Amino acid sequence: MPPQRSIAVAAELLGTLESRMPDKPELKPLALKLGGVSKVFGGVQALNAVSFDVQEGEIHCLSGENGCGKSTLIKIVTGVYSPAPGARIEIFGRRFDVMTPNLARSLGIEVIWQDLALFPHMTVAENIAFDELVGTRPRAVWIRGIHQRAEAVLARLGVSIDLNSSLNSLPIAQRQIVAIARALMGNAKLLFMDEPTSSLSQSETSRLLEVVRTLSRQGVAVVFVSHRLAEVLEISSRVTVLRDGKLVGVFPTAGMTQARLGELMTGARFEQGMSARDRSSSPAVLEVENLGRSGEFENVNLTIRAGEVVGMTGLIGAGRTELAHALIGMTRPEAGAVRLNGKRIRLRSIRDAIREGIAYVSEDRLGLGLVLKQSIADNTVIAVLDRILGKLGLLSPQRQLNLVDHWIGRLAVKIGHADHAILTLSGGNQQRVVLAKWLATNPKLLILDSPTVGVDVGARAGIFEIVRELADQGIAILLISDEVLEVLLNSDRILHIIDGRIAGEYDPRATSAEELEQRIYA
C-alpha cells in the first residue's frame, strides 16, 4: 500500500533525525538521569549501557517487548538490583553510587507493579495509609486522621472512592487508583507504573490516563510502561525504546505512529495492511437469531460464514464475553436460536460445544485458557483426550507425543521441552498453545476473545497470521477485541455491540480506525 509505506518512511526519517539531533537545552530540571547502566543475570545481558532520563513532571513512556529490560531498569532505579560497575545514577540532581529500596522511597520514588501489591481484605483507607499503619512498635492509630489524609490524596487525584469499602469489592480500575493514592501518601515525586492499563477497559483506561495527567500537572514525573501503543502515544511526551537490553533511542511522541513504534520495539517492519475480504458467497457456519439472556444481551442476530473473520468490538461490559459464553454452552440463552451449519444446536456445557465444533479462546488466558502449572504437552491435548487413546482405552504417551509435536510444529511454538510447565513460555507462545489446543479439536467455529491481551507487538502479528490461515481453511472466526485497530485490520466484517445489542455493522474497507473509535467511545 503505497500511501502507508510513504508515511512509514517519512516517520522513519523523522525518527532518525530526531534521535541524532544534539540534545536540546532542557526546559525542566531532570528528576532522573541514568547513564551506562548494565546488568548481567547468569550470562544474559539484561541491560547493556543504557541511558535514560526523565524530566520533572514529565510523562515518559518506557517501551519494549517482554524481556527487553524494562523491569530490570525500574528495579535498578529503585535499588532492588545493583547495576554493573560504571553506571551513573542521578536523582533530582544528586549523584548516588549505591541505591537501596529505602533510599529510593525516601527520595520519593515509587513503583506500582502490575499486580498492585495491595491488601484485598483491607479497606481503601487502610490500603492508602498502609505505610503509616505498620511500624516496628505497636501504637495507636488515629483512624480519623488517616481517613482525612486518604481523602485529601484522592481529592488531589480528582476521584472519589468510598474509603470504608473493602478493596476486593472494587473493580481493577479503582484498585489501580488506590495504588496510586498509596504511592502519593509516600510523597512520590517520580512514579513508575508497570502496565497499569493491561486489565482495564478503554473507558477505564482513559480515566486512568486523566489521573496520570493530573499528577503530571502537579509536578510528579511518571514513567509509564505499556504494551498498548495507542495509549503510549496519547499520554506521553517522550518515549524511550529498549530492545534486547539496549537503548534504541529516545523519541518525541509528536509525529510518531503506532506502526513506527512497533518497528522500533521489535526491530522488524510491520506493514500489516488490511486483510478484509468478501465472504458473502460462502455458506453460513454460525447463524444466531434473536438470541437473548436477561441482563446480558438481547435480540442478537449474526451470521458468520465459512472462512470469514467477523470482528466484534465495543466497550467491556457491553455483553461481548457474555454472548461468547452463551455460544459455547457455559450459559444458556433464554430466547432465540443458534444454528451451526444449518442445524439447530442447544448446548448444555462446553463439552457439547467442543463436540459440535465450537472452540473458545478465553480473554483470561492465565486463569481460564491454560492450566499454567501443568506441562505444555498436557495443555495441548486436554480437550482431545479421546483422540490419544491406545490399547485398552488407556492414554497413549506415544499418540500424545505425536499430537503435541504436530501442533507445536504447525503453529511454530517456541518451547524447550514439551514436558516443561506452560508458565515458562512467553505470552505469545502461550497463546499459540491455546490455539493448538483448540485446533486439535477440529473446530468449525473459533471464538477468539481478546486474543492478544498480554502478547507482545511482534508476537501479535504472528497470532493473526495463524488466524488468517485458519480462515483460509474454511473455519469461521469470531474475533472479539477492544483494540479497534486490531479488529479493523484483521476482520472481514465488524460488528459493534452496545449494551448487549448489535448496534452497527461496518465494512473495514469503508471505515477508518478514527471513525470506529469515535462511534465506540462516543
Partner 1 sequence: MKGAYRRLQSEVGAESLPLLAFLLIMVVAFSMATPRFLTTANFSSMAFQLPVLGLLTLAMLVPILSGGLNLAVIFTANISGLALAWTLIKFGGPDGGTMALIFGMAAAIAVGAASGWVMGLVIAYTGAHPILVSLAMMIFLRGLGEFLTRGGDISGFPDQLNIIGHGGVLGIPVPMIIFCAAAIVWHVMLRRTRHGFAVYMVGSNIEASEYSGIHTKRTITVLYTISGVICAAAGIMMAARFNSVRVGHGEAFLLVTVLACFLGGIDPFGGFGKVLPVFVALIILQVLSSGLNLLGANQHLSTAVWGLFLIGVMAARWIAGNLPFLQRGKIH
Q: Cell numbers 453460513 label which residue?
A: 284
Q: Closer CB to partner 1, residue 401 or residue 513?
A: 401
Which residues are CB-neighbours of 466 under 8 A, at least 6 positions away? 411, 432, 435
Q: Could you tell me the smallest distance in angstroms from the CB atom of residue 72 to partner 1?
A: 21
53: enclosing H helix or E strand: strand 44-55
Selected binder of partner 1 within 97, 115, 386, 514 (CB under 8 A): 386
Q: How many CB atoms lie within 10 A of CB 491?
A: 27
Angle 309-326-292 (CA atoms, 0-180°, nearest 5)? 100
| Segment contacting partner 1 by CB under 8 A, of 91-99, 272-280, 394-402, 405-413 | 394-402
Among 271, 382, 469, 509, binds partner 1 (CB under 8 A): 382
User: Per residue in 197-221, is it b (16+ CB within 10 Å) or e — as a string?
Assistant: bebbbbebbebbbebbeebbeeebb
Report yes or no: 457 and 227 within 8 Å, Cβ to Cβ: yes
Query: Of these, 26, 278, 405, 419, which contacts partner 1 (CB under 8 A)?
Result: 419
> CA 463, CA 345: separation in Å to the nearest integer?
29
Q: What DSSP string runs through 459-475?
A: HHHHHHHHHHHHHHTT-
In the range 204-233, which residues lie near partner 1 by CB under 8 A?
none
Site membership for partner 1, residue 459 (CB under 8 A): no
State in angstroms the smallest separation of the CB of 442 from partner 1: 13
Which one of residues 299, 374, 442, 473 is an interface residue with partner 1 (CB under 8 A)? 374
Q: Which of 44, 134, 394, 522 binds partner 1 (CB under 8 A)?
A: 394
Q: Minimal distance in Å, beta carbon 345 to partner 1? A: 16
Count of residues that interact with partner 1, criterion CB under 8 A: 32
How far is the C-alpha of 321 from the C-alpha of 293, rounded, in Å? 13
Binding piece for partner 1, criterion CB under 8 A, among 76-84, 240-248, 347-355, 455-463? 347-355
Specify the DSSP element, H or E, that contains 95: strand 94-96
Nearest to 485 by CA among 259, 261, 206: 259
Is position 40 an interface residue for partner 1 (rule: CB under 8 A)? no
Report yes or no: 21 and 4 within 8 Å, Cβ to Cβ: no
Residue 15 contacts partner 1 per CB under 8 A: no
Residues with Cβ < 8 Å from 406, sequence gap 6 or more? Answer: none
Q: Is 13 helix (H, G, I), strand (E, B) or coil?
A: helix
Residue 34 contacts residue 88 (beta carbons within 8 Å):
yes
Considering the complex, state which of residue 422 and residue 495 has its C-beta at the smaller distance from partner 1.
422
Instruction: Decide: is 376 part of the binding site for partner 1 (CB under 8 A).
Output: no
User: Does 402 help bind partner 1 (rule: CB under 8 A)?
Assistant: no
Nearer Cβ to partner 1 (289/378): 378
Determine, following the binding rule CB under 8 A, whether residue 383 of this chain makes contact with partner 1.
yes
By CB under 8 A, is residue 454 in contact with partner 1? no
Q: How far is the CB of 75 from partner 1 (least distance, A)?
A: 22
Q: Which stretch binds partner 1 (CB under 8 A): 1-9, 30-38, 312-320, 389-397?
A: 389-397
Binding mask 298-337 for partner 1 (x = CB under 8 A): --------------------------------x-------
Residue 295: exposure state from Cβ atoms within 10 A (0-12, 13-18, ≥19) = exposed
The Cα–Cα gap between 389 and 404 comes to: 14
- Range in contact with partner 1 (rule: CB under 8 A) among 84-92, 184-192, 271-279, 415-423: 415-423
Cβ neighbourhood burial of 522 (10 Å; 0-12, 13-18, 19+) = exposed
User: Between 26 and 364, whose beta carbon lies closer to partner 1?
Assistant: 364
Distance in Å from the first CA to the final CA of the chain: 30
Grid cell in block for residue 356: 459440535
Which of 10, 40, 385, 412 is the binder for partner 1 (CB under 8 A)?
A: 385
The one-letter amino acid code at 418 reads A
Using rule CB under 8 A, residue 370 touches partner 1 = yes
Give the interface segment with partner 1, choosing from 55-63, 243-251, 331-339, 382-390 (CB under 8 A). 382-390
Q: Which stretch binds partner 1 (CB under 8 A): 67-75, 86-94, 281-289, 344-352?
A: 344-352
Figure out which of the listed residues 21, 136, 367, 510 binds partner 1, where binding follows CB under 8 A: 367
Q: How far is the CB of 403 from partner 1 (least distance, A)?
A: 13
Q: Does 25 bind partner 1 (CB under 8 A)?
A: no
Site residues (CB under 8 A) for partner 1? 330, 349-351, 354, 360, 362, 367-374, 378-379, 382-383, 385-386, 389, 393-395, 397, 416, 419-420, 424, 437, 441
